[in-house]
Amino acid sequence: MWQAEHVKALLEAIYPECDVSILGMTTRGDQILDQALSKIGGKGLFIKELENALLGHQADLAVHSLKDMPMEIPLGFALGAVLSREDSRDAFVSNEFAQLRELPAGAVVGTSSLRREAQIRKNYPHLKIQALRGNLDTRLAKLDRGEYAAIILAAAGLKRLGLASRIKSFLSIEESLPAAGQGALGIEILSENKPLFDWLRPLIDNKVTLAVSAEREVSRRLGGSCEVPIAVYANWHKDNSSQLELRALLADPTGTQLITASSTQAITSLDEALILGQIVADQLIAQGGQQLVDSLSV
């Protein structure tokens, strides 16, 4: 809802003559909280109801966390705009400890992400990982009741909801490589709605669009899903704004198998961003990445 209100405010600022209304919806991903996403259909569960509202012309656009959008967008739909990106990092939240490395052996860490779980297990095999579902208030309440020593959440969500004070520290990109599109917002529309593409153009962040397109291409090429711990992150070099570095990580949930790849290229177009994603995906595949993905997706 915060995301929808944010986009509403942006659009009304650009088009003051336009009245933008919000159609609040609850998705299956919001409703099923006692099972892991990887077991009930993946992150696509957060967008299906919204897509049905677009098809039924109840809504003109749907706002998503880009990391929740499947890499293959269904026929008839399109990504109309990618907005400026919030913090892409994972956040360490605890009432007792300041950093992940301070947790003692056997301490329980909560996360809903196989990607985070695999990297934590690899770097901190002495910790115990337990599933954590629910909205932010629910997850924080479980931490406050002592069910977990710490929980790992997306920094972007905490910041957007005014809960940055709960963040004890940030996990570095090297410690926990983010998910493709993490921190970015995407607006989905019907592909046939050509005027809406033009209407949304002022919201588009071109640099973020190129970066997340490269990220998503890695996952798309490998057929990644919620069942596969895959992390992909692209960042622009500070000393050369045209150079985009793309890093990817593929693992099994236990963190015992972990494959990494990276490449840096000069990127000025969407086609070049997609090629960069393909290069990094092919590096993972050459190291046995496709076999690992296939084994986890059975």
- Catalytic positions: 68
Structure tokens at 73: 């967008």
Name the residue among 138, 186, 197, 180 with its Cα closest to residue 277.
180
Name the residue among 86, 101, 89 with its Cα closest to residue 233.
89
Name the residue among 12, 2, 9 with its Cα closest to residue 64.
2
Tokens 């913090």 correspond to: 87
The answer to whether 119 touches 175, Cβ cutoff 8 Å, is: yes
